[in-house]
Amino acid sequence: MSGANGSRWRPGSRGPAKRTPGSQLTRPWEPLWQFFNRLRPARWSAYVRDHWIGKPLVTAVPMTWLVLFFMVPFIIVFGISFSQSVLAIPPYEELLGWTDDKVLQLRLHLSNYDYLFTDSLYASSYLYSLKVAAVSTCYCLLLGYPMAYGIARATTTRRNIYLMLIILPFWTSFLLRVYAWIGLLKGNGVINNVLMALGVIHEPITMMQTDFAVYIGIVYSYLPFMILPLYSNLEKHDRTLLEAAADLGSRPWKAFMRITLPLSVPGIVAGSLLVFIPAVGEYVIPSLLGRTDQLMIGRVLSDEFFENRDWPVASAVAIAMLILLVVPIMIFQRYQNRELAHK
């Protein structure tokens, strides 16, 4: 019965029931021991396997994070967007309330959303944000693709240096780097002074508070987000494909257009969305460098919250922005899934 003769353990089979023929019980605790032994699982390893909680535990961590810091705030904001502004702390009406005859009442106002459509400020801010984000994304792509391509084709040691240089600016605060651009772009800033000293221009060019300054700021800040996914895509390309194309009579440029470019579409999509999505809601760069007569939606949002203290309208603006961005995010997801499916 014991493990010594090779039989398998069963619940209760391990009990060292050593009974000599003469005496009934050698030890008084023996029945108790046997009782507990019967409750013991057959094998601890099997028990752990059957009751393994590792998997849900591992997923529970990010899930908790998302629920606490994304879903709960989102529900709160979503709720506030159906509320009404009041002079109180917090400055909005509770959605749930008791009527005079003690009936629980849920009051939802759609007026905030209606307001977004009636006041042209919002529509124009949204459109302007989309335009700025789209144009900046195009510039990032035009600038980032050759850079990523060059890095992917470089030797391993150089590649690491280039990647380091791409990531290096992150060591300085984002805000500081945008401020630095003010010093470069302003009327008596570095660029104007140098150009005037060289005699290229006689009067300072107005670069601050223009779309140009916003594009520079966004392209400068978000370029790494374009380069890195593009690089990771291009680096994986099989170079024999280009050799095969050349072998089949394709000149290098044509081979690039027909092989490299189509195969890098997932990288282009990933990089573009990583630039486009945050650029739509960008607040700091347009506030510091951008126009004052045309606001981006991030600025409108912050003004509604902090200047007007109209939380419900601000929430509605935020929700509307999120809905606008859901479409590109879904495109991103689709391409990511397709990338994974190919592996």
> Which residues here bind another protein, judged by CB under 8 A?
238, 240-241, 243-251, 254, 258-259, 262-263, 342
Q: Taking the complex as a whole, how short is the minimal distance between the CB of residue 272 and another protein, in angstroms?
A: 19
**CA-based Rg of the chain, rounded to a whole angstrom?**
32
CB of 107 or CB of 236, closer to another protein? 236
Sequence-distant (6+) residues with CB within 8 A of 24 are none
Other CB atoms closer than 10 Å to residue 269's CB: what's the count?
20
How far is 201 from 190, CA to CA, in rounded Å?
13
How far is 116 from 317, CA to CA, in rounded Å?
7
DSSP assignment letter at 171: G
CB of 184 or CB of 246, closer to another protein? 246
CB of 163 or CB of 263, closer to another protein? 263
How far is 153 from 132, CA to CA, in rounded Å?
31
Cis omega (within 30 of 0) for bond into 90: yes
CB of 27 or CB of 258, closer to another protein? 258
Q: Taking the complex as a whole, how short is the minimal distance between the CB of residue 258 and another protein, in angstroms?
A: 7
Q: Taking the complex as a whole, how short is the minimal distance between the CB of residue 256 and another protein, in angstroms?
A: 13
Q: Taking the complex as a whole, how short is the minimal distance between the CB of residue 253 and another protein, in angstroms?
A: 11
CB of 60 or CB of 265, closer to another protein? 265
Sequence-distant (6+) residues with CB within 8 A of 334 are none
Other CB atoms closer than 10 Å to residue 80's CB: what's the count?
24
Residue 141 tokens, joined:
């792509």
Q: Taking the complex as a whole, how short is the minimal distance between the CB of residue 343 and another protein, in angstroms?
A: 10
Q: Taking the complex as a whole, how short is the minimal distance between the CB of residue 238 and another protein, in angstroms?
A: 7
Given the structure tokens 């601000």, which residue do they identify?
314
CB of 216 or CB of 259, closer to another protein? 259
Q: What are phi and psi of 342, to 5 degrees?
A: -80, -10
